[in-house]
Amino acid sequence: MLVELAQRGNFFITWAVLTVLAFGMTMLMSGLLFARYYWRPTFETWQGKSSPQYPKPAIVRREVLQMLKGIYTATFCPAVALHLVPFGISHAYGGLGGYGVGYLVLSFFVVWIGTDFYEFAYHRLGHSFDFWWSQHKAHHVFANPSPFAVIADDHVDQLIRSAPMLVLPLFMPINMDLLFFTFGAFFYGYGVYLHWGHELSWLGAHQPIVNTSFQHYVHHARSTIRKPMHTGFFFKAWDQMAGSLYDAPPEECLCAAHCVARGERTREAFERIVKPDYSVLLKPSYWWHGERRAPEHEPAE
């Protein structure tokens, strides 16, 4: 589908179509979770929230606006890859391309595992050196992120994060529909979970295999320049090897399960916290003007 689109149109049309597709997928996935868990939170959903606080509407507005930058930046790389096909530079293809279903499955796992390590390595770089932190720190304005913060990045940061969608087709035959939807649905979907801010009861935060929403909340709240912590995306193995895990005893752990066990998530505590009125986000004028004194940075707790 995408290869045929590139063959029929010019680069900017392809880029625009990919951006519209990405916008639809990202807003749907992030918006549904936000509406369910942030718009009118309940005591039960709050008990599973890593941070007991909710972000202010001005912060959510900033997340969404920054997310839009991330969307059109992220779709630039696959658009370039598609338009390099006629020159024999890109090995992107559509349909089965003569490679069969087995190759599709294999390439999915190559993309998944390879990109996960790439994301860990680049993300760690962003927390290790001043120059790379200057590219990445815009994402860390959101210390208590909502599902809209997944790709709320500045241009350079998101361009490098999305680079595998350009680089991979240069070195291996790859179905571009598979590649685009792997990034746009599979990766972004997991990113929505990581930025959800709430923890799943059936996927413990302290199991050793995959990063959960709690690990990513800790990353936003505690990780900064020269303090990389849980910079991995899917798998914990990379941070385990690098020694960059959050490891606190149960009496100090910030995860929702331990907070509930220590008696910190009571109904009385829930009644005391501020539940922001997010209805302002439905007003077009708010998106244009915002608040006169919108916060520059959000505290972690």
Q: Looking at the predicted structure, is the pLDDT value of residue 295 above 70? A: no
Least confident of 90-99, 113-122, 262-271: 90-99
* CB-CB neighbours of 49 under 10 Å: 24
Res 77: pLDDT: 94
What would the mean pLDDT of 78-82 be, rounded to a whole number?
Answer: 92
What would the mean pLDDT of 143-170 be, rounded to a whole number?
Answer: 96
What is the distance between the alpha carbons of residues 252 and 124, in angstroms, rounded to a whole number?
25
Angle at 5 between CA 99 and CA 192, to 5 degrees: 80
Res 96: pLDDT: 79
Closest CA to 185 of 174, 197, 193, 196: 193
State the pLDDT confidence band at 292, using cuts at 50, 70 and 90: low
Q: Within 13 A of 224's CA, how many CA atoms are on the CB side? A: 6
User: Phi first, then psi: what are they for 210, rounded to 5°?
Assistant: -115, 150
Share of the chain above pLDDT 70, in %: 95
Percent of the chain that is helix, strand, coil (3-state, to 5): 60, 5, 35
Res 2: pLDDT: 75
What would the mean pLDDT of 265-269 be, rounded to a whole number?
Answer: 97
